[in-house]
Amino acid sequence: MDPLAPMFEPRSVVVIGASQDKSKLGYGVARNLIGSGYPGEIYLVNPRGGELFGKPIIPSIDLLEKEIDLALVVVRAELVPNILIACSQIGIKHFIILTSGFKESGDEGKAIEYASKKIADEYRLRILGPNCVGIIDTHLPIDTTFIQPPMPLKGNIAFVTQSGALSAALIDYARGEGLGFSKLISLGNQMDVDESDILYTLADDSTTKAIVMYLETIQNGNKFLEIADNASAKKPIIALKVGRSNSGQQAAISHTGSLAGTDAAFTAAFRRANILRASNTREMFNWAIALAELPEPRDNRVAILTNAGGPGVIAADSVEHHGLRMAVLSTETQKKLSQFLSEAASINNPVDMLASASPETYRKCLRILIEDPNVDMICVIAPPPPLFSASAIADQVIETIKAAQKPVLVSLMGSSLVQDAKINLNLGRVPNFPYPEDCINAFSAVWKNKVIRMQNQSLESYSVPQNDIESLRTLISNYKYDDGVLPYEVIEKIFMSYKLPIQPMRLAPNEELAVQRAKEIEYQVAMKISIFGMSHKSDIGGVILDLGSENEVRSAYRYLELRANEFGKIQEFQGVYLQKMATPGHECIVGATRDAVFGPLLMFGSGGIEVEGKRDIEFALAPITKSDLDFIVQNTWAGKRLNGYRNHPKGDIESVKGVLIKVSQMMSDLPEIKEIEMNPLIVGEDHSGSSAVDVRIVIDVPREKE
């Protein structure tokens, strides 16, 4: 049984803090609950007693004689802990706390919320809020909020929000657009019930066909991923995650750390959980409408039916922009269209019936396009026609669209001249949007939802003996360092254990040892400056390549020592690293860091010195799945280049995938690692392998040097 069932399907509800004062939230909550048509028993509690909306106000919780499923708490924050205790003693276990004044208001409020949470844990209470708007269910029906009535229209979209302030505005907007909801849930401070708990409930809710979520953060990343993965297999989930900026991010040592902001982790997490991420509020609801109402397309070929050329071209451009395909109409379809369209009309895709198209012409052409096996989705565009009413067109196509086994969306372009048509389509439950781009964008969501549910989400792993892992952890913990950056000799041991390809480097603290190391490597060598605390050597010209003689090595050493002095780093100068020159190949970057919410996060893209400028990167959660592995390789220019794009030779993609799998496993095995970066990872031609030329590993808890 769903542990939140008494909260969403209560047989009885009590409003604690119900008020006769119309300026109080307790009045609004009682008004909405009673006015919603809720079929269960309703009780009102306030020490002052009296009567409200024809119901007696009970002066004390102790006087409640019947079993209560749900308590709506609308009292001052400081009273809430005692209210919870009193309610628990008479068997109430589920609460919605609508009052503010908790952790969002300062230290005193934090203390009250902490005390309330302790009581909830002790008495095993389930609490939505505090500082929330509440729950609306249009099907039960029940309205536990204080939002100005009327309730939203009945529909099949559930809206979950971490912003109570959005609720009233969006409900009013949705009502004007003819958009209905099954449920509206405001989460508030999430002291107990969080977004994952709500997803668990909505996954099996028979009145909900699509779930939309406005998110500012996620309480528990692993819990969310597990529940969302299960829920998205049952119905589509669309998320609008705000707070994309990384301005608050702490400085990171590696490129990976600086580029892998919180937003990248959320994008990767949503992809892992098969959640569609919307970029704005309108897109979120447009997608939800389409996913809740439209049948699943067989493929991604779009046909466009219009009475004006310009909007048809706009739609066609949008099709390509969103990665869909313009359908190539069959010869039979074109023949049928030509039988009743004028010679000036276009029977290709987009089908332009011209401005004189009648409502009957719209219906006939639409039916022909639906019957074409080359067409998977259809966008019907209807600017105000010069000879007919837009509502007449809507009336002609409604039944055809509802009977279709293919997704059909209507773009009603205009305002007052198409208003009646919009009302008719809404009443007929035919999704419609004002602009053709909105229709195509919604089609892209419908198609993506099908694609992501077909992805192979099985995990990729690489096994390292447990004894080796324990030895590496001991090695890391015993090493003393200030900046958290492991020395190259430790990195090489880690890489050897995971059979990761690495180009060995040897430290030379003085000029004579530099010459000796170069001879041991047998030239051609690269020389890299070693300055304590400096991660990116190229920033000060600290990398010199292709040194082929003793004189060149001595000259390069002296130059790098001089560079250290010029930058005021001579005290931190530790010498140079010598490394055999790598065989030329594709320069990529592979990295990983730890996100505070979702844990290890992998990165892949174009490497070299321009990595931050190009920002040709994609991210995936670790442990990585087969579909994520393919995604981050295929959706970067680096990956396309490795596939042999145009005149570029094909690179060893399987080698790169192997590196990513091993790094993914390393981040799981060695929690001490905060960041790892290989830049560049030189990838040779097909089947020739790859090699990490420069590697940095940063440990989470630095130790001071002894």
Q: Residue 124 maps to which CATH number?
A: 3.40.50.720
What pLDDT is recorded for position 482?
62
Residue 527 sits in the same domain as residue 676: no
Q: Where are the beta strands (DSSP E) in 481-616?
A: 505-508, 525-531, 543-547, 573-580, 586-595, 599-606
Token pair, residue 189, equals 């401070």
Task: Report the distance separating Cα 297 and Cα 301, nearest Å.
Answer: 9
Domain boundary among 437, 453, 469: 453
Collect all residues with Cβ–Cβ distance below 8 Å to 175 and sequence separation of at least 6: 150, 152, 153
- Which residues, given as ranges, of the chain have pLDDT below 70? 244-261, 480-482, 533-536, 538-539, 610, 612, 701-706
Shared-domain flag, residues 354 and 416: yes
On whether residue 65 sits in a domain, the answer given is yes
Residues 396, 302, single domain; the answer is: yes
Q: Is residue 304 part of a domain?
A: yes
- The answer as to whether 257 is a domain residue is no
Residues 574 and 469 in one domain: no
The model's pLDDT over 508-517, given as tens digits with 9 standing for 90+, comes to 999 999 999 9
260 occurs within a structural domain:
no
Quote the pLDDT of residue 243: 78
Same-domain status, 484 and 546:
no
pLDDT in the model for residue 539: 67
Question: What is residue 587's three-state secondary structure?
Answer: strand
Q: Annotate 415-430 with b (16+ C-beta within 10 A) or e (fewer).
A: eeebeebbebbbeebb
Tell me: do 593 and 607 sit in the same domain. yes
pLDDT at res. 244: 65
Q: How far apart are CA 222 and CA 673, in angstroms?
A: 19
The predicted pLDDT at position 700 comes to 79
| pLDDT tens per residue across span 523-564 | 889 999 988 766 667 667 889 999 999 999 999 999 999 988
CATH code assigned at 327: 3.40.50.261
CATH code (residue 543): 3.30.1490.20
Number of domains in the chain: 4
Decide if 588 is inside a domain: yes
CA-based R_g, the chain, Å: 32
> Last residue of some domain: 534, 562, 581?
581
- Say yes or no: 611 and 644 in one domain: yes
Report pLDDT for 541.
81
For residues 116 and 30, state if they share a domain: yes
64 and 155 together in one domain: yes
Q: For residue 285, tell me if it sits in a domain.
A: no
Tokens matching residue 515: 């010459």
**Residue 283 in domain:** no
Query: Do 327 and 204 sit in the same domain of this protein?
Result: no
Residue 125 shares a structural domain with residue 86:
yes
pLDDT reported for residue 481: 64
The whole domain housing 209 covers: 5-242
What is the per-residue pLDDT for 705?
43
Which CATH number goes with the domain that contains 486?
Answer: 3.30.470.20
Other residues' Cβ atoms within 10 Å of the Cβ of residue 217:
15
Residues 668 and 692 in one domain: yes
